[in-house]
Structure 1
């Protein structure tokens, strides 16, 4: 990256970093730092009202499935399992559909059976 150790520490501790520099770090460290940012945007984006959604027409493609990464699903399920948030709080705060949340919970129970089951 052609920079000194002090510059690396300064960049690491800075509050903001340019996308070009972040892309270089991502390539160098073989880690997708942009994924963290996009997951944050998905979780905390404001909800879109159905009426507004129908009015806006766009040339961009509309993606409906697989917007939640495994990390997001695990994070949400961990909040529920540890009792930090209730299911209704998750649905309201993160605007995750009720059916989607319950599918995640049912899949988790089949993937990771209780220790008491044999």
Structure 2
């Protein structure tokens, strides 16, 4: 799976097909007509409320696709590390959570020779010790 280009509608449609859920069930759960649901399948973006409902219906965390994208492709923070950037009104996450898909993606790049360890560290800001731990478990 490539996390750089996300077409969430395709992922949702694939999951609906895998689970063999009828159009009627999807429409009923989302309280939308068939045409609106088909438009969602064609859309590369979707409202977060609808994405949450799809996640519940399809028993799959579609938000994790976006989290994986952020982990792999967002640049390191350029703000002053000495400042307290914690907000009192929104949740603060201390660590990035590396999913198995991300680990497989990174390890695949190393094993195929596409990228070296130092390139991975530089490109994705993954700590050297974390990479070595992943590689030891292969």
- Counterpart in the other structure of 1:28: 57
Which 4+ stretches in 1 moved above 3 angstroms?
Answer: 58-62
Task: Give the aligned partner of residue 41 of structure 1.
Answer: 70
Match of 2:116 in 1: 86
The separation in 2 between residues aligned to 1:90 and 1:98, in whole angstroms, is 9
In structure 1, the partner of 2:133 is 103
Aligned residue in 2 for 1:69: 99
CA apart distance, 1:12:
1.2
- Give unmatched runs, 5+ long, in structure 1: 109-118
Task: Give the CA RMSD over aligned residues.
Answer: 2.1
Aligned to 2:23: none
Q: Taking CA–CA contacts closer than 8 Å with sequence separation of 6 or more, which of the two structures ends up with the larger relative contact order?
A: 2
Supply the distance in 1 between the matched residues of 2:115 and 2:83 (Cα, whole angstroms). Answer: 33
Partners of 1:67 and 1:23 lie apart in 2 by 20
Instruction: Name the counterpart of 2:80.
Output: 52
Give the Cα separation in 2 of the matches to 1:56 and 1:68: 25
Aligned residue pairs, count: 105
Q: CA deviation at 1:17?
A: 0.8
Larger radius of gyration: 1
* 1:46-68 Cα shifts (integer Å, max 9, x gaps): 1136x921x2114455624x622
TM-score with structure 2 length normalisation?
A: 0.66
SS of equivalent to 2:94: coil
